[in-house]
Amino acid sequence: MSAQGKQKRLTTASIRSMKGGERIVCLTAYTTPIARLLDPHCDLLLVGDSVGMVLYGMDTTVGVTLDMMIAHGRAVMRGTSHACVIVDLPFGSYQESKEQAFRNAVRIMQDTGCDGIKLEGGEEMAETIAFLTSRGVPVFGHVGLMPQLVNTAGGFRSLGHSEQEAGKIRRDAAAVADAGAFAIVVEGTVEPLARELSASLSVPTIGIGASPACDGQVLVSDDMLGLFNDFKPRFVKRFAELSPLVSQAVESYADEVRAGRFPGPEHTFQVRK
């Protein structure tokens, strides 16, 4: 499916049907103006809880709230008409029970108008995913490296190196797919395992740090645009370096204001004659 000739917003069912076909293009989005720029080129836009680190300067995603996700979900929906939009359920908003997950997923879908939700977790979340999907909530799964578990997993590192780790991710991905997820993010996972999951699962795998073997790719948009510089994971490619452009523009503005060159006559209102 190319960026041209698309009229209607893609659905989770159309993303699901792209399994084994053209690779699925996904990026994160958090604001209306950036969503407008990404929308024509992407099949899937994720309002990720990475918003906490990228826009709010948090060290992890653990502090992100449901209200933050709803505000950013609404902003992204206002800026899009083509891509399927999924909003993350943040930490603490779904792990307690399947009923809590359903209540908060419905709130996100009703308040934002998005197409579905994403949640992190494998075997332990399968019952919740089945509960949601059988009641009308499309679920985007997320296995492998799960940033919301940073405090129990002991940090961010690639996974699947040992047979024990690989076996756990294999079971997680199968459980999430069997529970009815329409697609699954596979994060920070070694290539042979990502390849095996992509071949064995009936739903698309969307990789981030999980090799080209996946059915699609996702990156944090501020990472690939060179706007987030706190750290750069190995799997990030910078497709642009926007930070120096912003710095140069602000430096020029500051120089012109201090020198009295801005605003010029063309930016100044005179009394109409």
Instruction: Return residues touching ligand KIV (CB under 6 A).
Output: 28, 46, 48-50, 88, 185, 208, 218, 220
* Dist. CA 1–CA 129, nearest whole Å: 28
Q: Which is nearer to ligand KIV, 114 or 208 (CB)?
A: 208
**Residue 162 CB, nearest distance to ligand KIV (Å)?**
23
| Residue number with CB closer to ligand KIV (39 or 49) | 49
Beta carbons within 10 angstroms of residue 17's beta carbon: 13
What would the DSSP string read from start to end of 77-123? HHT-SSSEEEEEPPTTSSSS-HHHHHHHHHHHHHHH--SEEE--BSG
Q: What SS3 state is found at 264?
A: coil
User: Rounded to the nearest whole angstrom, what is the least distance from the CB of residue 107 to ligand KIV in the complex?
Assistant: 19
Residue ranges with strand state E in the chain: 24-28, 44-47, 84-88, 116-118, 139-144, 183-187, 205-208, 216-219
Structure token pair of residue 270: 């005179």
122 vs 6: CA distance, rounded Å: 34
Nearer to ligand KIV, 46 or 177 (CB): 46
Cβ-contact 146, 115 below 8 angstroms = no
Q: How far is the CB of 21 from ligand KIV (least distance, A)?
A: 21
Distance linking the first and last C-alpha atoms of the chain = 56
- Residues 211 and 80: their CA atoms lie apart, in Å, by 28
Give least dist CB 58 to ligand KIV, A: 12
The catalytic residues are: 187
Strand partners, 4: none
| Closer of 38 and 218 to ligand KIV (Cβ) | 218
Q: How far is the CB of 253 from ligand KIV (least distance, A)?
A: 31
Considering the complex, state which of residue 180 and residue 209 has its C-beta at the smaller distance from ligand KIV.
Answer: 209
Determine the residue with CB nearest ligand KIV: 48
